[in-house]
Chains A and B, each alone.
Chain A
């Protein structure tokens, strides 16, 4: 035993070697912070706003040839950049906004949905990116450019007989597809029982033995899919069907000694999971009545018992008149969940280490020339810029009881208070003000 033990310890596995290399780099950075004056410390922890804005606005106009590999993701590039700018409190000028609206209009398919570029096949992920981009800009022209009638038809066509969604015509089925479809339908106020039917069963089947959610049934629990799965379940009012204590435990354990989050057990830290994992813990702060019941009944609860969980939810719901067991929702009623979710109060503080996470993002992911990256040694890109900033915003507001309450206390914001970003809607990941504006616009008709 002892012998086997020591031989095991001598030869480090690939996972251990890679982990050690990253830890070394991260700790070197943190060590610098330890020895400096408060002034330098504050400087080191500052968000380099001007540099980020410069990097982002340049990208919104033109991109190097190397971006050709993202030629089928151009609405994503719009969203990553526009949302990053919005988090930094920057809105683009109206002339340029019109150019973006015009461009996304060219990506919109005649039969609904958006493709990765003009003339490309409509795809759920780029549809989500396009819709969120238009909401983030928020002008009447931007919001009215979305053909909601056709969009609903497009979403219905993407639905598989299992209830889950396919990314595009004859495309792949996964949890990402379910989230992007349900998110778009909800925020556009076109979510109905036809779209919801069966989605919950699919997501439930993707929650793994670890507690997190996988992309497909049987796969490994993963941060990105866990966000997508939980957000979907909340938007269709079926979050109580997940094992939430198990899910929370798995996510809480994904924050490592590097202070940032990893996407899967025993994988390396990555700045983008600041949002995917961090936001999950922000979401569950507003599911307290369901989580409490599941925790308190832990010792008698036999696995998933939808009937019981439903009963619990009905009698403890802070939403009052909503009926989580009913299947006869009408459009509008279901789409209200995204709004009423914001009215719930967070009954406990953040279950992540918010200050530690902010430290990882600011010191290990931030690039001084502008933009954010996965981890030290990697290069910046727009995807990581978007999700590092989104994660940072989630952290800064993680102690706020109300989503739209007063500004966070200085203690909640690491670095100078000028680091404070705009708050987001945690289910859609668009800036809160823009969400309200869109919500108002899309509730006028349909």
Chain B
């Protein structure tokens, strides 16, 4: 696949293309956003336009689309036509997988290759599952947050299966980098959708513990805080009634004196949500929050939620507008 500039023979000099008249781009007399194409690009696209226009679904058209995609993997029209050609000539789809992998080496963040890959995997069915999981793993080893790779992987799991090792894979990525929010998102995906694990309800308690451990180790890491909160999406009553959740908040606040560690913001923020959802704080709980108040936070308030907002306003100046807004919109029944 190495395309040596020196050895490239223009299409116009190739015997097998002599019957095709290249079709230039119709840019009009006064083009705008006019790209100074190199000769190779212009010529390849002129021949592509010719076969696309005549709808020639042949082996040579397939080769031509390979060249065009090498030059611009973002051209969705070329990819679309390539799929029509692949079907018409009955191409070996495993070879096509190799081609996509080659293109993905330098273009792993392009919508077209991933859409094409999904189309291929769908056609191959269950037999493609292992290869797709391996392929995404390879891409994610280079960039563990590649959005398209994660989407593709989720699609593979849902349509072709392969859930067996997925939780372990998330685990391993989180051990590599516990700040990798994509891996947390994937963990949530597995917990809530894997047909092998019993669903969120069954796993919630152990997941709360998993998130709480991650929080205690790195309280400044937002990902496990959002994950913990997300385990109760749509079920605020359970969030409020699980003492482990409020204990995590208090632990973090106690261990990290606020003036040194503004990341207590995550603990206070979750605490605020708890209060908004009807959490009844103990006296000890009130004392701990009150101890965080300083002269900037204004007078002690009747509502604990209001005090929490005031503290957040002063320790998290980037979001002071947000906290003051939260303060003025507390639920009537919040403590």
Q: Which residues of A contact B (CB under 8 A)?
A: 1, 4-5, 8, 13-16, 59-65, 67-74, 77-78, 81, 96, 99-100, 102-103, 106, 115-121, 123, 167-172, 208-211, 215-216, 218-222, 248-250, 252-253, 255-257, 259, 264-267, 291-292, 295-299, 301-304, 348-353, 356
Contacts and interface: CB of A to CB of B under 8 A. Distances in A.
B226 A351 contact: no
B34 A267 contact: no
A106 B26 CA distance: 7
B181 A220 contact: yes
Given A5-B217, A60-B32, A210 B226 contact: yes
Task: Choose among A16, A61, A252, A297 the residue with the greatest number of B CB atoms under 10 Å from its CB.
Answer: A252
Contact of A121 (B80, B185, B189): B80
B197 to A, nearest CB: 15
Interface stretch (B127-135, B171-179, B284-292, B293-301): B171-179
B41 to A, nearest CB: 5
A4 B229 CA distance: 25
A68 B177 contact: no
Nearest to A168: B76
Interface of B: 25-28, 30-38, 41, 45, 49, 52-53, 71-77, 80, 83, 111, 114-115, 118, 144-145, 147, 150-151, 154-155, 158, 176-182, 185, 188-189, 193, 216-218, 221-223, 226-227, 229-231, 233-236, 269, 276-278, 317-322, 325, 328-334
Nearest to A74: B33
Contacts of B45: 71
Given A253-B222, A353-B321, A115 B147 contact: no
A399 to B, nearest CB: 10
B325 A299 contact: no
Closest 5 CB pairs of A and B: A209-B230, A303-B234, A15-B179, A13-B177, A265-B181
B115 A118 contact: no
Contacts, number: 229
Contacts of A64: 35-36
Contacts of A81: 33
A62 B147 contact: no
B325 A72 contact: no
Contacts of B25: 117-119
13 contacts: A8-B217, A60-B32, A67-B35, A73-B74, A123-B76, A169-B80, A218-B158, A219-B151, A264-B182, A295-B330, A299-B333, A351-B321, A353-B318
Nearest to A211: B226
Given A60-B33, A71-B41, A218-B158, 7 more contacts: A69-B74, A208-B188, A219-B185, A221-B185, A298-B277, A299-B331, A348-B328
A106 B33 CA distance: 13
A170 B32 contact: no
Nearest to A71: B72
A264 B181 contact: yes
B319 A102 contact: no
Contacts of B151: 215-216, 218-219
Given A8-B218, A351-B325, A256 B333 contact: no
A222 B147 contact: yes
Grouping DSSP codes into helix (H, G, I), strand (E, B) and loop, the B interface class, with mixed when no group exceeds half, is helix
Nearest to A291: B329
Contact of A62 (B36, B236, B318): B36
Contact of A219 (B74, B147, B217, B334): B147
A266 B72 contact: no
A84 to B, nearest CB: 13
A56 B318 CA distance: 33
Contacts of A15: 177, 179-180
Given A116-B77, A350-B321, A172 B115 contact: yes
Contacts of A221: 185
Nearest to A259: B318
Contacts of B49: 119
Contact of B26 (A72, A118, A295): A118
Contacts of A168: 76, 80
Given A68-B71, A295-B331, A220 B182 contact: yes
Contacts of A78: 32-33
B331 A106 contact: no
A209 B233 contact: yes
Nearest to B30: A99
Contacts of A16: 179
Contacts of A120: 75-77
Given A210-B226, A265-B181, A267-B145, A253 B28 contact: no
Contacts of B278: 299
A87 B334 CA distance: 44
A219 B179 contact: no
A299 B227 CA distance: 20
Nearest to A357: B318
A295 B33 CA distance: 47
Given A13-B177, A62-B36, A219-B185, A172 B319 contact: no
A219 B111 CA distance: 15
A163 B236 CA distance: 30
Contacts of B34: 61-63
A64 B34 CA distance: 9
B26 A68 contact: no
A296 B36 contact: no
B263 to A, nearest CB: 11
Contact of A115 (B53, B77, B177, B226): B77
Given A61-B32, A61-B34, A256 B331 contact: no
B234 A266 contact: no
A23 B192 CA distance: 35
